[in-house]
Amino acid sequence: MSRPNPPARVSALRLFCLGLMGTLLNAALSFAEQQPTEYQVKAAFLYNFLPFVEWPPQKAGAPDSPFVIGILGKDPFAGALEAAVEGKKFKQHALMVRRVSTSAEARACHVLFISRSEDGRLPAIVQELRSTPVLTVGESDKFIARGGIINFIIVEKKVRFEINPDAAEEAGLGISSKLLKLAHVRTNRETADLR
């Protein structure tokens, strides 16, 4: 994947991956023209966030302890997240996708994707995770306002994200300036009126 392989082999690999996901495929699709789905992008983003976020050392844990990406609520990824982290590591930590339902489980995660299905419970969840070094990622309009750290948005048909650095700081997480540069930064003050 990372190697500039001859086109034929890349194409074959793609087909294999897509087949594995059980997605309907147009056989005529070429590798270059293929548009990943929204959640494939979001899954990749979730994984890509990792290098730009700094967890406190005690939270990061031992090198051999896995890094957990949790999904709270209804899983919209349809296996795309697992595919995205398949065989990958983050700083020697193995990566793990876990469906969570309890707050304890949520607290054990390093990254917690909060599905739209949980929009109603958002304030409670956020309240629960406040001051806990868990990177909360959501995809609803009021996610940042409710205290979430990163929120996916769609801008010009492309997946972008908002970041609330204040919330990240409150959680004890460091967000890379590189990431902030790409993000729509929403501070607490900005979001106060929406709260």
Partner 1 sequence: MWFPRNISIRSKVTLVVLATCGVSLLVACVALFAFQLLNFQRSFKSDLSALAEIVANNSTAAVAFDDPPAAQEILSALKAKPHIVGATIADKNGSVFAQFGQNEDGAALQRFPADNGFAFDRSYLLHSQPILLDNQRIGMLYLRSDYRGVYIALLKLYSGILALILLVSFLLALLISSRLQRFISEPILRLVDTAKVIAEKKDYSVRARKGDQDEIGVFTDAFNQMLSQIEEQDAALQRAQETLSDQVLKLQHEIAERERAETDLAEAHSQLVETSRQAGMAEVATGVLHNVGNVLTSMNVSATLVSDRVRQSKAQNLIKAAMLLREHATHLEEFLTRDPKGKVLLDYLPNLAAHLGEEREEILKELALLTKNLDHIKDVVAMQQDYAKFSGLIEPVSIAALVDDAVQINAASFNRHGIEVERQYADVPLVAIDKHKALQILVNLMRNAKYAMQERRHGKRQLTLGIEPLGVDRVRVSVQDNGVGIAPENLVRIFSHGFTTKREGHGFGLHSCALAAKEMGGALFAQSDGEGKGATFVLELPIARNSDGQ
Contact between 157 and partner 1 by CB under 8 A: the answer reads no
Copy the structure tokens of residue 115. 């599905």
Beta bridge partners of 153: 160
Which among 48-56, 70-78, 95-103, 108-116 is the span making contact with partner 1, rule CB under 8 A? Answer: 48-56
Q: In the set 169, 178, 187, 195, which binds partner 1 (CB under 8 A)?
A: 178
Beta bridge partners of 70: 98, 112
Contact between 153 and partner 1 by CB under 8 A: the answer reads no
Instruction: Give the contact letters, 59-88, x = binds to partner 1 (CB under 8 A), - = no.
Output: -----------------------------x
Q: Answer positive or negative: Cα dihedral of 110, 113, 118, 123.
A: positive
The angle subtended at Cα 96 by Cα 75 and Cα 154, nearest 5°, is 45
Contacts to partner 1 from residues 5-34, by CB under 8 A:
10, 31-32
* Least CB distance to partner 1 at residue 4 (A): 5
* Least CB distance to partner 1 at residue 48 (A): 4
Cα–Cα dist 132/109, whole Å: 10
Copy the structure tokens of residue 187. 């501070």
Residue whose CB is less far from partner 1, 52 or 59: 52
